[in-house]
């Protein structure tokens, strides 16, 4: 009995001496309850870059819908089946849970940061505005994908029934938010977040150019819907936008999984051969003798003689089964683990400004000069020569009388690595002419948006049906509000 009592006394003594330390045993230091805002900002950028770059058919099928790629065996997604894999549900989840939530939480944490000589009030403000611009970018994607979306009530994780806001109203608010961010950004001597900002390493002058370029991107989408707002938005941002490829907003992936480019992750590491180049883009580039082809695609052996090799760029028929061995593939460069992730680039912005000039907006240069500047910037990024010969081609040379076709086709070609942007350009300008997939009968059946997630019909039914009524019915064929003219 004495032995037991002595053990009890020892235990009580140990407990008394370690009371202040026991909480350490209940804390998983590898899973902190609250991480720094800078870490969440990095996480948000990475999640957004992954979503934009990914060719995973469960998450991102825009390269298919933009008719840059087509599928080899399983052609469901190229034929606009987005329900079987619940792709809209996955897209909602990625943007709201993994992207917007990170940026929103980072913004909240930056508000509470301690002000010091090395982290001044201006530095903390800059961090918040960088978050704001990323949030605007993500919401812009969501509107361009779905139309009306949950917006004002989305960051409260306890609210499972957010209302859907009007898409045009969201656009107007996004412009206001970009303006406010640009007004608040201040170039300082501090690195702010340093390398935690993967895009610009906290260079605020670059973020100001990004913000103005984002404003132009928003404005140009409004051009056919609200010309006055579009013009005012673009003209106010033109002088402050990107001026060279050095300003490109790129995400620098690393050389190994899980931080490699998602194209490498899906096309190389998996060993799957699910995609080939689509005949839509290959045929156009072949007709133009476009020197970017070797940067975009491999060549296929078209010879019928086993003893002879005859290489050519050959695209698979869009929406039809296209055996991997018979058609051009994605180029090796694009499949590298370090290949860039794209947010906004100088060539993209130049095409937007060329269109603005063609519409009569005052953006400091002519439509033709900006159009040539955009193509030249694309050639420079890919390291391709012969720009003068290409621009002199009558089928390439800018034509003011048919500016929609000129700008629509060439911007679509330049946006090859950015499926959603290429698809959006086609929806807005109706060029180039797409091919008709196997599962549809008419051009008018090519989708103009994603339908809403199926799960929204269950957990948020009242707001889902209200949104469906507001946009004119939740169909693939229902255009986004800015898409006022249909290509048929």
Model pLDDT, residue 33: 58
Residue pair 398/367 in contact (Cβ under 8 Å)? The answer is yes
Contact 163, 152 (CB under 8 A): yes
Res. 285: pLDDT tops 60: yes
Number of other CB atoms surrounding residue 102 within 10 Å:
26
Position 15 confidence tier, pLDDT thresholds 50, 70, 90: very low
DSSP letter (8 states) at residue 165: E
- Answer yes or no: is pLDDT of 18 > 70: no
- Once rounded to an integer, what is the mean pLDDT over residues 310-331? 97
299 is a domain residue: no
ω into 432 cis (within 30 of 0): yes
pLDDT at residue 305 in the model: 86
Instruction: Classify residue 5: in a domain, yes or no.
Output: no
For the residues 17-39, what does the mean pLDDT come to? 57
Looking at every residue in the chain, the average pLDDT score rounds to 92
Angle 121-146/37-53 helices, nearest 10 degrees?
30
Domain-located, residue 487: no
Does residue 25 form part of some domain?
A: no
H or E, element range at 344 = strand 341-344
Angle between helices 227-237 and 167-184 (to 10 degrees): 20
Look at residue 178 and tell me if it is in a domain: yes
Per residue in 187-220, pLDDT (tens digit) is 987 888 989 999 999 999 999 999 999 999 999 9
**pLDDT score of 191:** 81
Phi, psi of 249 (to 5 degrees): -90, 95
- Candidates 440, 411, 416, 38; CA nearest to 202 is 38
Quick: pLDDT tens for 359-398.
999 999 999 999 999 999 999 999 999 999 999 999 999 9
- Residue by residue, DSSP assigns 65-93 as HTTSEEESS--TGGGT--TTTTHHHHHHH
Residue 1 confidence (pLDDT): 38
Q: Is 435 helix (H, G, I), strand (E, B) or coil?
A: coil
Q: Does 402 map to a domain?
A: yes
Query: Cβ(274)–Cβ(73) under 8 Å?
Result: yes
User: What is the helix, strand, coil percentage profile of the chain, to 5?
Assistant: 55, 5, 40
DSSP-H helix ranges across 156-257: 167-184, 204-221, 227-237
pLDDT at 106: 97
Tokens of 16: 């008394």
In a domain, 76, yes or no: yes
Q: Is 177 left (phi over 0), alpha (psi -120 to 50) or beta?
A: alpha
* Span 62-100, pLDDT tens digits: 999 999 999 999 999 999 999 999 999 999 999 999 999
pLDDT band with cut points at 50, 70 and 90 for residue 254:
very high
Whole-number pLDDT of residue 2:
35
Q: Is the dihedral of CA 439, 445, 450, 451 positive or negative?
A: negative
CATH number at residue 388: 1.25.40.390
User: Domain span at residue 160?
Assistant: 37-260+339-471
The mean pLDDT value for 253-273 works out to 94
User: Percent of the chain having pLDDT more than 70?
Assistant: 92
**pLDDT tier for residue 453 given thresholds of 50, 70 and 90:** very high
Contact 128, 111 (CB under 8 A): yes
Is residue 196, in this structure, part of any structural domain at all?
yes
- pLDDT value for 8: 37
Cα–Cα–Cα angle for 319, 448, 229, rounded to 5 degrees = 145
In the structure, what pLDDT confidence band is assigned to residue 35 with cuts at 50, 70 and 90?
confident
Taking only the tens place, the pLDDT of each residue in 130-169 is 999 999 999 999 999 999 999 998 877 678 899 999 999 9
Ramachandran region, residue 311 (left: φ > 0; alpha: ψ -120 to 50; beta: rest): beta
- Cα 2 vs. chain centroid, distance in angstroms? 73
pTM: 0.92
In this predicted structure, what is the pLDDT of residue 176? 98
d(CA 52, CA 418): 7
The total number of structural domains that make up the chain: 1
Tens-digit pLDDT profile for residues 399-443: 999 999 999 999 999 999 999 999 999 999 999 999 999 999 999
Cβ neighbours of residue 211 closer than 8 Å, sequence gap 6 or more:
129, 133, 178, 181, 182, 185, 240
């Amino acid at each position: 009995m004495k032995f037991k009592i002595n053990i009890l006394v020892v235990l009580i003594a140990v407990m008394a001496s370690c009371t202040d330390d026991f909480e350490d045993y209940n804390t998983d230091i590898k899973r902190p309850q609250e991480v720094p805002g800078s870490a969440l900002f990095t996480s948000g950028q990475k999640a957004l870059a992954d979503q934009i770059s990914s060719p995973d058919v469960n998450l991102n099928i825009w390269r298919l819908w933009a008719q840059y790629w087509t599928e080899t065996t399983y052609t469901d997604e190229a034929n606009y089946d987005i329900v079987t894999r619940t792709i809209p549900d996955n897209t909602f989840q990625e943007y709201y849970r993994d992207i917007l939530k990170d940026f929103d939480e980072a913004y909240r944490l930056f508000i509470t940061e301690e002000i010091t000589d090395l982290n001044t009030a201006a530095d903390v403000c800059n961090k918040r505005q960088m978050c704001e611009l990323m949030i605007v970018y993500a919401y812009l994607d969501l509107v361009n994908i779905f139309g009306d979306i949950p917006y004002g009530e989305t960051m409260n994780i306890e609210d499972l029934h957010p209302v859907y806001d009007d898409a045009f109203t969201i656009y107007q608010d996004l412009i206001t938010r970009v303006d406010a961010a640009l007004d608040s950004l201040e170039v300082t001597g501090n690195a702010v977040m340093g390398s935690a900002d993967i895009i610009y390493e906290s260079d605020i002058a670059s973020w100001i150019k990004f913000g103005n370029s984002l404003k132009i991107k928003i404005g140009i989408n409004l051009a056919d819907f609200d010309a006055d707002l579009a013009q005012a938005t673009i003209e106010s941002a033109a002088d402050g936008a990107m001026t060279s490829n050095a300003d490109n907003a790129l995400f620098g992936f690393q050389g190994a999984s899980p931080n490699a480019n998602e194209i490498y992750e899906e096309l190389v590491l998996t060993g799957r051969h699910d995609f080939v180049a689509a005949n839509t883009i290959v045929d156009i580039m072949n007709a133009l003798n476009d020197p970017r082809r070797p940067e975009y695609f491999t060549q296929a052996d078209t010879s019928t003689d086993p003893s002879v090799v005859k290489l050519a760029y050959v695209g698979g028929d869009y929406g039809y089964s296209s055996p991997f061995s018979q058609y051009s593939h994605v180029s090796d460069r694009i499949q590298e683990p370090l290949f860039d992730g794209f947010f906004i680039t100088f060539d993209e912005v130049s095409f937007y400004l060329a269109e603005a000039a063609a519409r009569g907006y005052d953006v400091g240069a002519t439509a033709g000069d900006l159009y040539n500047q955009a193509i030249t910037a694309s050639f420079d990024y890919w390291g391709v020569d012969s720009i003068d010969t290409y621009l002199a081609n009558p089928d390439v040379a800018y034509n003011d009388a048919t500016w929609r076709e000129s700008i629509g086709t060439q911007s679509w070609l330049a946006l090859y690595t950015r499926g959603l942007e290429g698809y959006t350009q086609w929806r807005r300008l109706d060029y180039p002419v797409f091919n008709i997939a196997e599962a549809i009968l008419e051009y008018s059946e090519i989708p103009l948006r994603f339908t809403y997630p199926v799960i929204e019909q269950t957990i948020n039914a009242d707001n889902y049906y209200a949104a469906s009524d507001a946009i004119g019915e939740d169909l693939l064929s229902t255009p986004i509000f800015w898409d006022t003219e249909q290509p048929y």
